[in-house]
Structure 1
Amino acid sequence: MEYDKVSERGNVLFLILIAVVLFAALSYAVTRSTQSSGNINEEEASLAASQITQYATLINQSVIRLKAISGCSDTDISFHYDSNGNGTLETDGSDNYYNNTVTNNDCYVFHPDGAGLAYIPPKLEWLDGVNSAQNHYGEIYFTSRACIPYVGTGEGPCNSSGDDEELMMYIPYINQTLCQKLAEKFEVVQPGGAVPIDDTSAWYDNNYFVGTYSNGAKLSNNVGSDTSETINGSFSGCFEGGGGVPASGTYHFYNVVIAR
């Protein structure tokens, strides 16, 4: 009967539609899985390294501009943004980086009244998904409880006084291939070309910058002497964790926003 044929065609179309939806869902899941596993080729890593470098440069230039034009001090700078993603910039601790000593938004990096930059989280394909449960995975981490020897006023024991702690920007837990490209880009590599390994702890978890500087972690890598051409004295680069925080076998971009 004609009715049965129409019904059959409708059933076939419905099954095809279901198959398309399931295939799309599977493709999305596979893509997410591939990206989160940190699979990235050399060409993609080079492009990502350039994007990260450009964004870090924008951050640094914005802070310089806020200090020069708006009169913001090292302690006035704020990276406060809608970190919990609910559409509201909150001051009760729900959103990271709130500096309660700043009375307006003029010194905010991520606010139209300040530098006007947008907070852009790391792309999923840049990251090593094995570490997705770690603190600060998938975010840009700004902290002032860290220093690098021979950057600013701090020499070897730069973490002995809050006066020489840097304002640091980290992109934690990135892919090893990307880290290698970043290390090479900034010429911060060990003899032989390997990514340098932090010999202490590079940061303290959950110490978001809120306008204060205090004794903290030290990002360093000694090869022969304190002034060797590795992490020490470098303002940007990439490193492997050394067994403290972060753990060995993990890779991280760093950038000095304010050297002190």
Structure 2
Amino acid sequence: MMNQRNFKISTPDRATENGNVLFLILIAVALFAALTFAVVQTRGGGSDANKEKLQIAASQLAQYGGDIEAAILRMRVGKGMGPDVMSFETPFLSSANYTNPDCAIDDCKVYLPKGGAISYNTPNDEWLDWSQNTQPHWGGWLFTGGSCVPGVGLGNDATCNGDIANLELIAIVPYIQRDVCMEINRRKEITTGATLPPQDQGNAWINNPEFAGTFTTGEAISSAGDELFGRTEGCFEGGGTPASGTYHYFKVLIER
């Protein structure tokens, strides 16, 4: 006769089971808290991301403005080219008014290898105020010899526009975003903190402002508080043409 063995059917340990459930709940709570923290940090970090985007935009604008200035200097010093023979004509600028009739060789063309040896860079979409995309000169660089900045070169006040000898060769990116404009001015120490861009006291450029070798008596870029006095680079709010509520980067290429 075989020995009978007593088999005991084990039952779950309720205390252990309850402990495991509690442990899983605690893990779930911890994961949820971590996820909530990550979401909050991401949302809060949006301002940092936007700040970084503005800094990049301002840096890119200033860098290309400096590149154009360097190209002009190479033409003046290395090739003996004066502004009267320089031409900004390029397929990327639609206006035929940039074609300088006194520029008969490639050496005097800013955007050719034999001239300024620089490529034309279309303003980045993220710089621009798209609500103004129907305005003249929006979405491109404007080169003008019909404006001056008081305190730059010979002109000491807002009457600098009355003398052709005081007018500068200026590059402008019209109709950029206000926040980009503010960041440019912060970088250039024209304004600080959340100060809005200074407003031009009148028109910033004349009708048909494209530079084609001739300086034409026109307008002054100046503000009531003289924030732009003596500045060769910066950003301003329009006060006539262009209109108030619009913002514009400028870079003086040749002081006169």
TM bin, normalised by shorter chain, reads: 0.7 to 0.9
1:21-53 C-alpha deviation (Å, 9 max, x unpaired): xxxxxxxxxxxxxxxxxxx92211110111111
Unaligned stretches of 5+ in structure 1?
1-39, 86-93
Could you give the per-residue CA deviations for residues 117-165 of structure 1, whole angstroms, max 9, x where no partner exists?
Answer: 1111111121111101101100100000000111001111101111111
Does the 8 A contact of 2:103 with 2:109 survive in 1?
no
Q: 1:110 aligns to what?
A: 111
* Matched letter for residue 61 of structure 2: I
Tell me, in whole angstroms, the C-alpha distance in 2 between the residues paired with 1:209 and 1:149: 20
Per the TM alignment, residue 193 of structure 1 is displaced from its structure 2 partner at its CA by 3.0
- Cα separation, 2, equivalents of 1:206 and 1:232: 25
1:191 to partner: Cα distance: 9.7
Match of 2:154 in 1: 153
- TM-score normalised by L of structure 2: 0.77
Aligned to 1:233: 230
SS of the equivalent of 1:239 reads: strand
The question of whether the paired residues in 1 share the 8 Å contact of 2:110 and 2:118 is answered with: yes
DSSP-derived class of the 2:236 partner: strand
RMSD across aligned positions (CA): 1.8
CA contact under 8 A between 1:82 and 1:95: conserved in structure 2? no
1:253 aligned to 2:254? no
Return the alpha-carbon distance in structure 2 between the equivalents of residues 165 and 190 of structure 1.
28
Q: Give the Cα separation in 1 of the matches to 2:50 and 2:248.
A: 18
Q: Which runs of no fewer than 5 residues in structure 2 stay unpaired?
A: 1-48
Secondary structure of 1:222 counterpart: coil
- Of residues 211, 214, 221 in structure 2, which corresponds to 1:212? 214
Equivalent residues in 2 for 1:78-97, closer than 5 Å:
78-83=87-92, 95-97=96-98
TM-score, normalised by the number of residues in structure 1: 0.76
TM-superposed CA distance for 1:222, in Å, is 2.4
Contact 1:131 1:137 in 2 (8 A): yes
- 1:130 aligned partner, one-letter code: S
Name which one, 1 or 2, has greater alpha-carbon Rg: 2
2:172 partner SS: strand
Corresponding position of 1:10: none
With 138-147 and 120-129 compared, the bigger mean Cα shift is at 120-129
Q: Which residue of 2 aligns with 1:164?
A: 166
Deviation track 1:191-243 (CA, whole Å, cap 9, x = no partner) reads 973311111111124321000012101100122xxxx4x1111000011111x
Distance verdict in 2 for CA 1:256–1:137, change over 3 Å: same
- State the alpha-carbon separation in 2 of the partners of residues 211 and 198 from structure 1: 26
- The SS at the match of 2:70 is helix
- 1:199 is aligned, of 184, 198, 201, to 201
Separation of aligned partners in 1, 2:86 and 2:93 = 20
The count of residues paired between Structure 1 and Structure 2 equals: 207
**Deviation per CA, 1:96-137, whole angstroms, max 9, x where unpaired?**
411001221102110111122111111112111110110110
Q: How does 1:1-260 map to 2 (within 5 A)?
A: 41-83=50-92, 95-156=96-157, 157-189=159-191, 193-223=195-225, 228=226, 230-242=227-239, 244-260=240-256
1-structure distance, mates of 2:141, 2:204: 15
What amino acid is the match of 1:162? I
* In structure 2, C-alpha distance between the alignment counterparts of 1:84 and 1:210, rounded to whole Å: 13
Shift of residue 76 of structure 1?
Answer: 1.7
- Give the fraction of aligned pairs with identical amino acids, expressed as a percent: 36
